[in-house]
């Protein structure tokens, strides 16, 4: 365990390490809220550009990147369902929000000279390619960044589950979850100044303690496929580079000795 004060010692982008990345292929899961920056709604273009710069740095270091972006900055299906909207309709609206975010991030990435493809689980041929697993893998092998939009294409599943599913399908070495805090804590660090951050956790401990890092279905899928989940702060410049180099504040969720997945 590491004291929560450690997260303040994160260098700026210029100080990020340039060592050999420890992962060859990763899926980066970003919440929709992360794209808001300091705004109350929608996409902050400066924030999107900063994240695109981080992704560009990883690609230039030889990392194959794919992304899943949530839609909470535009529409959150579960919240709408709680207020009386029919759940399936609310979830479909949330999926459409993820497509909007994917197009926005595609624009930011292409402004950084990265070839990017948006693949949607919901067919919408005018603006995105349909999700086909072999096509997605071929894009990544060619060095393109792939953004998976539309969730799983089914209601009642979150983008966390979609991220876990795509990470397994793409044969990723890790699922990186960029959040608003620099890892998993035993309490909310925003309200509990004495909260302690975990350096490492076992999948089963995350599930048994209900730490709510990701949906239980997503954590279970990662455990079954023995793909580590790395939780870090996407708000700090250079943090993605540091995580890829095996440094920086984060929490790694994986099978501990004595445990095992099916991979």
Q: At 233, which helix (H) or strand (E)? A: strand 229-233
Q: Is the dihedral of CA 235, 239, 241, 243 positive or negative?
A: negative
Domain presence at residue 259: no
Write down the pLDDT at residue 2: 42
Write down the pLDDT at residue 257: 76
Residue 97 and residue 118: Cα distance in Å, rounded?
14
Write down the pLDDT at residue 172: 98
Q: CATH code at 111?
A: 3.40.1160.10
Average pLDDT, rounded, for the chain: 89
Expressed as residue numbers, the domain containing 7 is 2-254
Write down the pLDDT at residue 14: 39
Q: Greatest CA span in the chain, whole angstroms?
A: 51
Domain presence at residue 262: no
Write down the pLDDT at residue 259: 53
Write down the pLDDT at residue 8: 34
Phi, psi of 18 (to 5 degrees): -120, 20
Write down the pLDDT at residue 242: 92
- State which residues of the chain have pLDDT below 70: 1-18, 77, 258-263
CA-closest candidate to residue 239, choices 8, 33, 25, 35: 8
First-to-last C-alpha distance (Å) of the chain: 27
DSSP string, 190-201: TT-TT-EE-SEE
Number of independent structural domains in the chain: 1
Domain presence at residue 66: yes
Domain presence at residue 260: no
Domain presence at residue 263: no
Domain presence at residue 213: yes
Strands in 129-130's sheet, in edge-to-edge order, are: 129-130, 116-120, 145-149, 64-69, 25-30, 174-179, 229-233, 251-254, 200-202
């Amino acid at each position: 365990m590491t004291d929560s004060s450690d997260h303040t010692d994160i260098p700026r982008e210029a100080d990020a390490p340039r060592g050999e990345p420890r992962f060859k292929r990763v899926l980066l899961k970003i919440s929709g809220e992360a794209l808001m920056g300091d705004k109350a709604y929608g996409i902050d273009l400066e924030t999107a550009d900063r994240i695109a710069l981080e992704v560009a740095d990883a690609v230039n270091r030889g990392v194959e990147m794919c992304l899943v972006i949530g839609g909470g900055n535009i529409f959150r299906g579960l919240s709408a369902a709680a207020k009386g909207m029919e759940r399936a309709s609310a979830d479909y609206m949330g999926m459409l929000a993820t497509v909007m975010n994917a197009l926005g991030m595609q624009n930011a990435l292409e402004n950084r000279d990265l070839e990017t493809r948006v693949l949607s689980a919901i067919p919408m041929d005018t603006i995105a390619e349909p999700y086909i697993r072999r096509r997605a893998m071929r894009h990544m092998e060619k060095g393109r960044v792939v953004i998976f939009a539309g969730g799983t294409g089914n209601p009642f599943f979150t983008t966390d589950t979609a991220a876990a599913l795509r990470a397994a399908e793409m044969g990723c070495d890790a699922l990186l979850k960029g959040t608003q805090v620099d890892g998993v804590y035993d309490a909310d660090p925003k309200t509990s100044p004495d909260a302690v951050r975990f350096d490492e956790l076992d999948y089963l401990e995350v599930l048994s303690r209900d730490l709510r890092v990701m949906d239980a279905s997503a954590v279970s899928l990662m455990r079954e496929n023995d793909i580590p989940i790395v939780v870090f702060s996407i708000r700090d410049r250079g943090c993605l580079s540091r995580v890829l180099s095996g440094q920086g504040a984060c929490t790694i969720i994986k099978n501990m000795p004595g445990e095992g997945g099916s991979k």
